[in-house]
Chain A
Amino acid sequence: SAVISQKPSRDICQRGTSLTIQCQVDSQVTMMFWYRQQPGQSLTLIATANQGSEATYESGFVIDKFPISRPNLTFSTLTVSNMSPEDSSIYLCSVEGGRGSDTQYFGPGTRLTVL
């Protein structure tokens, strides 16, 4: 399985500011995914990020709020823009398990608290 790291691991931010979360993978992957996990809840897919194309967002998530970059096959960023306390969550990136694989492997997550 891929080794995935995320930065920062946690942060406390002020309302109205933005935070960019980085996801680095130790191997090249076509598809990367960003999830949100609200306190005590399950995982919800924010968007799918393929290298060389615009991210595909799920219902309820928009690019202006969660811009995503995917500059190469091992790296992606998710920005949480104009934050409010409701954005306090764990943000997780994941990658596909391999060509043709239906599995996904997750990074350790970024715990965000917005005051």
Chain B
Amino acid sequence: GQQLNQSPQSMFIQEGEDVSMNCTSSSIFNTWLWYKQDPGEGPVLLIALYKAGELTSNGRLTAQFGITRKDSFLNISASIPSDVGIYFCAGQAAGNKLTFGGGTRVLVKP
């Protein structure tokens, strides 16, 4: 089946820093989605990407749909404490099924 490799698995942020995470796939996706999950809650959709090369922003978040359709990245600019959580990428090939990456756990630097 399709595999999504998401990296890094975890990262520490300091307030004000920019952070980046990405997902790569062995196969092509038609749609890339980025979600954030806080403890005890379901994933919340952050950004949806529908075209290869598309660059989309949502506040301090920016995501891009890779030209090859096999990758996507998410940037968070000027991070704040509430950015802590787990971020998931998800790709959709045919039909409505989503394949999820392993997640990137964003933590605050002690």
Contacts and interface: CB of A to CB of B under 8 A. Distances in A.
Interface of A: 1, 4, 31, 33, 41-45, 48, 59, 92, 94, 96-97, 102-109, 111
Contact of B33 (A1, A31, A103): A103
Interface stretch (B11-19, B55-63, B72-80, B94-102): B94-102
Given A1-B45, A42-B88, A109-B42, A102 B102 contact: no
Identify whether the interface residues of A are mostly helix, strand, loop, or mixed.
strand
A45 B97 contact: yes
Contacts of A105: 45
B23 to A, nearest CB: 11
B8 interface: no
Interface of B: 1, 30-31, 33, 35, 40-45, 48, 50, 88, 90, 92, 96-98, 100-103
Contacts, number: 55
A106 B97 contact: no
A92 B42 contact: yes
Nearest to B88: A42
B105 to A, nearest CB: 9
B84 to A, nearest CB: 16
